[in-house]
Structure 1
């Protein structure tokens, strides 16, 4: 990925530079300009996990960004693709994406596209897979727990981390231990243990306007609810968010009952092979809650 180049647009020229050359305040201002809730701390997390580029004008103002997160040798995600309102009609997004995709070969790629960006990603060969529902609001204490759920809840740091990482890899379809290791010290966590093994887990951490629950990985709606419930209870009366691909069913209904209504949607898309799994084989885990829309 070549991080040094220039783009000549209709009225001005932009420089492409490594994202690590940009200061945190400029990146934060860029995301604020398009209404994204990321705090400087949230930017620090994604910068520690990926690599990327920024587009700067002649006086050094950051007007665009794009990042790639290499989870394993066979899979990566693209995120933090932002173009300022000044650039959105100038075609700079395509140029930045072409830089990000350099050298990708046949590696599978996933991303979550805003409505404004879907056409661009489609033109680059990405295929639509699923809708992500950004659910958020002031959390309310959820209905009583389902007494039929078997197993015991274990909280971090007591929960067996290696088992959580292994379960996540099965549900996510790639080993993203670097991401999970970075989120671990920032998060409260719950794991559901049944017959001596972890069958579901959920993390919750500060993000944006409040807290976000994610990742959430489980094999059934009931198990996903069981590991999410303690985080909702802990944050009742405060702003809470979850990004999920679950449109209906018990889990989606639970999220709604907790005061988190659908605020926005994005579209999960893939290149070089399918990414998401909404209907795994019986007993196999799946992602109920994303880590973030960038990291997924």
Structure 2
């Protein structure tokens, strides 16, 4: 998979009704590695990607077979190849992915197990917010603290991902007694603005970060993906009128661990 495939890849995700823009595919290509399935005329009919993280963890994503090939083995072949490549590329201790409902059975056949549902909250933001007093715009010197906080959530070093996202996002941090205790990002994605990742030591700090990330977005489409099923954070999102959908299921080979300080994920593909 290369940047020369961007237009075809965008068309492929559109064929499934996915909201990814061409620019969203470009971001994925900056972070991960992928393959495409092409015919004799070099037309793209399928894709798959993996995103390696230091600490021997990898995320699988963007596994697509064109709907016209849904009854073939293409999806399973692409998924198997991507899992195999991600483990061969390094001594991977764990592989995880976020599977659409219709794909869960296929991933089970490849040895993955269902761990947690991921809820997609989205809709038009009904009101505006201001940046919380404890929250401020992140600066370059804050990146190491951000990497460390994210590493605690995933038990892996995802700085390569976060560096790219920070360059394309509005990034905020929350402080307590002079120490950075949480961070959040927002960026253009799909139909509007994606909020995530959001990492904090507790629900109230996560809400302060999220409201700060929502500043200036009243009347605009926003999306946030979380593994949390209940609690103050999801109650806050529901109170805003954002519609919750159990959109995908996080699956793994049994090794990855996700900690409760991760309130919103970066994307379905990157986790």
* Structure 2 length-normalised TM: 0.92
* Mapping of residues 207-226 of structure 1, within 5 Å: 207-226=189-208
* Mapping of residues 75-154 of structure 1, within 5 Å: 75-103=57-85, 104=87, 107-141=93-127, 152-154=134-136
* Number of the residue aligned with 1:177: 159
* Mapping of residues 274-293 of structure 1, within 5 Å: 274-278=256-260, 286-293=261-268
Q: Deviations over 1:111-153 (max 9, x none)?
A: 000011100111111111100001100012268999xxxx721
C-alpha deviation, 1:106, in angstroms: 5.2
* Number of the residue aligned with 1:250: 232
Give the length in aligned residue pairs: 267
C-alpha deviation, 1:49, in angstroms: 0.8
C-alpha deviation, 1:262, in angstroms: 1.4
* Number of the residue aligned with 1:188: 170
DSSP-derived class of the 2:214 partner: helix
DSSP-derived class of the 1:259 partner: coil
* Structure 1 length-normalised TM: 0.85
Q: Deviations over 1:1-60 (max 9, x none)?
A: xxxxxxxxxxxxxxxxxx117521100000000011000110000001111111112222
User: Which whole-Å CA distance do the structure 1 matches of 2:197 and 2:259 have between them?
Assistant: 15
User: Which whole-Å CA distance do the structure 1 matches of 2:210 and 2:160 have between them?
Assistant: 22
Identify unmatched segments of 5+ residues in structure 1: 1-18, 279-285
C-alpha deviation, 1:232, in angstroms: 1.7
Contact 1:22 1:54 in 2 (8 A): no
User: Which whole-Å CA distance do the structure 1 matches of 2:138 and 2:130 have between them?
Assistant: 23
1:69 is the counterpart of 2:51: yes
Residues 106 and 272 of structure 1, relative CA distance in 2, 3 Å threshold: farther
DSSP-derived class of the 1:23 partner: helix
DSSP-derived class of the 2:211 partner: helix
Identify unmatched segments of 5+ residues in structure 2: none
Residues 197 and 21 of structure 1, relative CA distance in 2, 3 Å threshold: closer
Residues 166 and 227 of structure 1, relative CA distance in 2, 3 Å threshold: same
C-alpha deviation, 1:289, in angstroms: 0.5
> Higher helix fraction: Structure 1 or Structure 2?
2
Q: Deviations over 1:84-134 (max 9, x none)?
A: 101111011111122112251652001000011100111111111100001
The alignment's C-alpha RMSD in Å is: 2.0
Contact 1:22 1:62 in 2 (8 A): no
- Deviating above 3 A after TM superposition, structure 1's stretches of 4 or more consecutive aligned residues are 142-146
* Number of the residue aligned with 1:227: 209
C-alpha deviation, 1:61, in angstroms: 1.6
DSSP-derived class of the 1:102 partner: helix
Contact 1:188 1:205 in 2 (8 A): yes
Residues 179 and 139 of structure 1, relative CA distance in 2, 3 Å threshold: same
The structure with the larger Rg is 1
* Number of the residue aligned with 1:295: 270
